[in-house]
Structure 1
Amino acid sequence: MKFVRMILAVVGVLAAVAAVAWYVWDQNTAGLPAGFAGGNGRIEAEQIDIATRTPGRVDRILVNEGDLIEAGQLLAVMDTRELEAQLARAQADVSRAESQIDEVRALIAQREAELALAQEELSRALELAERGVTSQAAADQQQARQATATAALNAAMAQLHTAERSVDSAAALVQLYEAQIADATLVAPVMGRVLYRLAQPGEVLGGGGRVLTMLDLGNVYMEVFLPADEAMRAGIGAEARVRLDSIPYAIPAFVSFVSPEAQFTPRTVETAEERADLMFRVKVRVPEELVAENIALVRTGLRGMAYVRLAGAEELPWPAEFVGEPIPSVGPVTGETE
């Protein structure tokens, strides 16, 4: 019985959330002309954690919270003294193994010469023994020498294989330490802004320890919820506008994602009227070029409205009373998937 009450409570909460979302959407989109849809939301950007790949001590952090950063910019450096010592040792092991290879190759050349001489002397001894000039014992002795020379050559070849494997092993360690040293230099993967500084110089972090959290300002968007009939007409790449509460301008945008399933269902869907209440998440993205041109003004968390031109309304003008004056355009808006 307690479980049933819990289920009913959850259903009640979901129904309340759906009702509130529907009311907010209806109030904000009342009066929109046919061919356009809209919803309220806030400006967001993807968060990216800048973290270590291997354990280590933080040496330097070169940025602060709020700093704008470019893709590829150096953000932090980990202490690599121990890794550099291990790299130097591995490099010395490579040099030593390569020297052993040179020595073994010289030894192989010597063993090959000895085997060739033993084979020649064996052939001569067998010929003389056949003619009765020397005894069979002398021929047997030369055959033993030839076998000894063959064994010595085989042993030298085995030494060569061992030395080559030693070089490969030491070279692999060199590559490993070089990669770890490279990973100790943390750079920005994309253009953005530092959101949080999570570590300080001198702090020891484990593998995967977070140093910074940044916002990817190349992916600035607003998420809104549209009813099923409008979501079906909001295609990927559809033209959109974002109107923030804090500025009187329309920001050009485009639809980059439409959820393939309803985000919430107010109650059991049985009738056409109830199915019309299903809401779908739609992501409206600001072009990266426009963000880059106004990077210093970009702030996440700002609330406002996003409006979408629906399929079949491509020729209709944007209603100025809903989107205001557009800011300068940076070129055609292209569609991208999420």
Structure 2
Amino acid sequence: MKSLRGLLIVLIVIFAAAGGGYYYWQSQQSELPDYIASGNGRIEAEEIRVATKYAGRVDAVLVDEGDRVTAGQILAQMDTAELLASKAKATAEVARAQQGIAEAKAEIVQRQSELSFSQQQLTRAKELVKNNNISREQLDQRQANRDAARAGLSASRAHLTSAERGVEAAQAELRRIQVQIDDSVLRAPRDGRVQYRLAEPGEVLAGGGPVVTIIDLTDVYMNVFLPTRQAGLAFVGNEARIVLDAAPNFVIPAKVTFVADDAQFTPREVETREERDKLMFRVTVRIDRELLAEHIKRVKTGLPGETYIMLGDTHTWPENLHVNVPDAPNATDTNANASQGTPE
């Protein structure tokens, strides 16, 4: 009998707590002015997949999950043994092509000398043939020698041009290989935190295979869904507030940066107003980058929370939604700066 009485007492306490919680939630909802919309969401950050550009074997991964990285920092290294061999071959090709230029230039000097000599012989022959000291046939022969020397010089000059183009092609191939070698070093495109380490040394990846995923902790946002009437009054640039479940005492300022053009989760065509009111539109609010930079060590993704969005023209925020950021001086703002969406 006593155990039954104890069980009843426990059940009464549970129902009372649940009822009190529900009443509190309802009271909070009713306290919101009609110009403020709210929705649930999770903290998200811009995610970047750092992948290999070319197929190859992973030689080293230099970061672990959770590491902070800076833009330009080396994250991983692909194996470059084959590329280095190709580079050595391309370097030799460049040297050989440059040698071809030297040979072509020497050939031009030789052809110029031959042309000069044959031109002198032709000039003398023209004087000698006037006095019948040589035959007309000899004059024609020297004329042909001069023409052949001139053609040889033109061919040598063309050979030089071809050799120069060969050097350019060899150098381009060398640069291409060097670009592949440079791309084998995977660097962080921006500051962030390593979210996932997706490959390990020794793994062979196809081109575009991801190695590391990092998140940009200065590009944090939350997506919420609003019904038609509220979404119609939510504009890019409107002020917003984020309250996380893990830190309900803090109110984080944000701004609307995106309002979807298309409705979500409902048929594209509806006939009645009741159905149209069920349409939900995705709205994205982002936290200021400077504020995130000040609290970079505290930023965590995946945390659930509530977003409050100012609809239409600017209005005064309720007292419970004044900006209140952890460890910030003068954390609680006034109505004036609350309407501007910035902490004091």
Give the fraction of aligned pairs with identical amino acids, expressed as a percent: 49
Match of 2:254 in 1: 253
Match of 1:159 in 2: 159
Listed as ranges, the gaps of 5+ residues in structure 2 are 1-25, 332-336
State the 1:270 CA deviation. 1.6
State the 1:28 CA deviation. 8.2
Distance change in 2, residues 1:82/1:149 (3 Å): same
Distance change in 2, residues 1:137/1:227 (3 Å): same
SS in 2 for 1:325: coil
Distance change in 2, residues 1:93/1:29 (3 Å): farther
Match of 1:110 in 2: 110
Larger radius of gyration, structure 1 or 2? 2
Match of 2:319 in 1: 320
Residue correspondence of structure 1 range 213-224 to structure 2 within 5 A = 213-224=213-224
State whether structure 2 residue 335 is matched by structure 1 residue 302.
no
Match of 1:137 in 2: 137
Match of 1:147 in 2: 147
Return the alpha-carbon distance in structure 2 between the equivalents of residues 99 and 260 of structure 1: 64
State the 1:81 CA deviation. 2.3
Distance change in 2, residues 1:233/1:124 (3 Å): farther
Return the alpha-carbon distance in structure 1 between the equivalents of residues 28 and 170 of structure 2: 67
State the 1:175 CA deviation. 0.7
Q: Deviations over 1:16-53 (max 9, x none)?
A: xxxxxxxxxx9985542032111110001222211111
State whether structure 2 residue 293 is matched by structure 1 residue 281.
no
Distance change in 2, residues 1:161/1:56 (3 Å): same
Return the alpha-carbon distance in structure 1 between the equivalents of residues 231 and 263 of structure 2: 10
Distance change in 2, residues 1:294/1:324 (3 Å): closer
> How does the TM-score come out when normalised to structure 1?
0.83
State the 1:79 CA deviation. 1.9
Point out the more displaced range, 297-306 or 158-167: 158-167
Residue correspondence of structure 1 range 41-120 to structure 2 within 5 A = 41-120=41-120
- Checking the alignment, whether the CA contact within 8 Å between 1:249 and 1:323 is kept in structure 2 is no
Return the alpha-carbon distance in structure 1 between the equivalents of residues 28 and 179 of structure 2: 53
> How does the TM-score come out when normalised to structure 2?
0.82
Question: Residue type matched to 1:301 in 2?
Answer: G
Residue correspondence of structure 1 range 187-202 to structure 2 within 5 A = 187-202=187-202
Match of 1:311 in 2: 312
Listed as ranges, the gaps of 5+ residues in structure 1 are 1-25
State whether structure 2 residue 105 is matched by structure 1 residue 124.
no
> What's the RMSD between the two structures over aligned residues?
2.5
Return the alpha-carbon distance in structure 1 between the equivalents of residues 125 and 29 of structure 2: 109
Match of 2:178 in 1: 178
Return the alpha-carbon distance in structure 2 between the equivalents of residues 268 and 151 of structure 1: 80
- Checking the alignment, whether the CA contact within 8 Å between 1:29 and 1:37 is kept in structure 2 is no
Return the alpha-carbon distance in structure 2 between the equivalents of residues 174 and 162 of structure 1: 18
SS in 2 for 1:270: coil
SS in 1 for 2:46: strand
Q: Which runs of 4+ in 1 moved over 3 A?
A: 26-31, 130-133, 322-334
Return the alpha-carbon distance in structure 1 between the equivalents of residues 283 and 150 of structure 2: 78
Match of 2:11 in 1: none
State the 1:153 CA deviation. 1.5
Distance change in 2, residues 1:220/1:137 (3 Å): same
